[in-house]
Amino acid sequence: MYIKEIQLTNFNNYETTQVKFHDQVNALTGKNGMGKTNLLDAVYYACIGKSYFSSGDKYVVRKGETFFRCEGLFDGEKGKNIVEVKVTPGKKKEIVLSGKKLDRLSDHIGRFPCVIIAPVDIQLMLEGSEERRKFLDNTVMQFDRSYVDAILVYNKLLKHRNAMLKGFAEKHYYDQRMIDSISHGMYKPAKKIHEMRKALIQDLSPLFDYYFGVISGENEHCSISYKSQLDGETLQELFIKNTEKDKILSRTSSGIHKDDITLKMNGEPLRNFASQGQLKSVILALKLAQYEILSQKNENLPILILDDIFDKLDRSRVEHLLSIIASDKVGQVFISDTNEDRVPELLNKINVAHKAFRVDGGQLEEIHSKT
């Protein structure tokens, strides 16, 4: 399955545009700020139903407009699918799949698996645990929709539980039975989320080791592990143990919303000493491992999006990466680069079919193709 064509209206800096893509590799070149990342985000939006780069849909709407529309035509062995997403901030998002309106965003996630690698992913390594949990959730959601439901239930009840704890603190009052009535509904989804995250890291770890070795040239060793408070106790046991702590803090201090991924390089915490190039290699390895997991779990090969990944990578690592992309294990690929010649030259060198576009101020021009 690949995205054959995309049509945009008022999507970021694109007023209206229609682009036909190559089913293998598509290179977007141009200066920074011209719309390369916005177009890649539109591909991701068609696949997942939300932006990768913007925290809310209101930030995706073109300046001065009141709505945006993103339509993707997907093609594959089982036929064509048209995804239409229309968003008017303040109103419910409309997602239509081949003429059928979907009730929930979760009904769309996983139909068209997609992995994106971008400079903002440095947050995975350097910022709080929330970014790393998002990575876990984004992966599992794309092959198991029951996981989406578990996350929604848990987060809704967590929000309710925290609000109740805060309300009790403000009123200097506490009712354990009311807390328990909420907590009880969190045990089952928490167990499922924990088990699936743990299983994901077990599957991901050897793939991560392999890809990091390929990209780094086997010069360094990096490991990944899963850290959760539920590794040794049930959520019910944690809640009972932390009852007084929750009262004092006026929030839920334990649970799967505290999970994290631990990354180490040569036995030391990654964030302590890794260079920009090493961090980027870790991100590439992690995302390529994610890609392979999704390939194994889905009928269709995921779409792979690489946004401005060549900065801080030496030529050897770039060539290692492109050799992976050129394999039959990878489906449709999108690459952005500020250098107009670099990607086409490297793709020609490894004899990969592709299209190259120049992006300038929300306008696209096809400048090179190889069939």
DSSP 229: G
Q: Which residues pair with 140 in a beta bridge?
A: none
pLDDT at position 313 is 67
Three-state secondary structure call for residue 250:
coil
Non-local (6+) Cβ contacts of 89 within 8 A are 56, 57, 58, 61, 66, 67
pLDDT mean across residues, the chain: 89
Sign of the Cα pseudo-torsion (10, 16, 19, 25, in order): negative
pLDDT at position 273 is 67
Domains of the chain: 1-113+302-371 (3.40.50.300), 125-297 (1.20.1050.90)
Higher local confidence (pLDDT), 105 or 73: 73
Sign of the Cα pseudo-torsion (144, 303, 225, 53, in order): negative
Q: Which alpha helices (DSSP H) does 72-175 contain, by range? A: 122-126, 129-141, 145-171
User: How far lies 48's CA from each of 94, 138, 222, in Å?
Assistant: 13, 10, 30
pLDDT at position 312 is 60
Non-local (6+) Cβ contacts of 60 within 8 A are 11, 12, 41, 45, 51, 54, 68, 87
> Rounded to two decimals, what is the model's pTM?
0.91
Residue 140 and residue 109: Cα distance in Å, rounded?
A: 10
Average pLDDT for 23-45: 91
pLDDT in tens, 89-100: 888 899 999 989
Q: What percent of the chain has pLDDT over 90?
A: 59
pLDDT in tens, 165-183: 999 999 999 999 999 999 9
Q: What percent of the chain has pLDDT over 70?
A: 97
Q: Which helix (H) or strand (E) holds 14?
A: strand 14-20
Torsion of CA 251, 256, 258, 259, to 10 degrees: 180
Non-local (6+) Cβ contacts of 320 within 8 A are 214, 215, 217
Give the end-to-end CA distance of the chain in Å, rounded to a whole number. 18
Sheet holding 268-269, edge to edge: 222-227, 260-265, 268-269
pLDDT in tens, 50-65: 999 988 899 999 999 9
Query: What tokens were used for 92?
Result: 């419910």
Place of tokens 């036995």: 267
pLDDT at position 174 is 93
Sign of the Cα pseudo-torsion (21, 23, 29, 34, in order): positive
pLDDT(321) > 90? no
Query: What tokens were used for 189?
Result: 């989804």
> pLDDT grade, residue 86 (50/70/90)?
very high
Non-local (6+) Cβ contacts of 90 within 8 A are none
Q: Which helix (H) or strand (E) holds 263?
A: strand 260-265
pLDDT at position 364 is 86
Average pLDDT for 352-362: 86
pLDDT(316) > 80? no
pLDDT at position 222 is 85
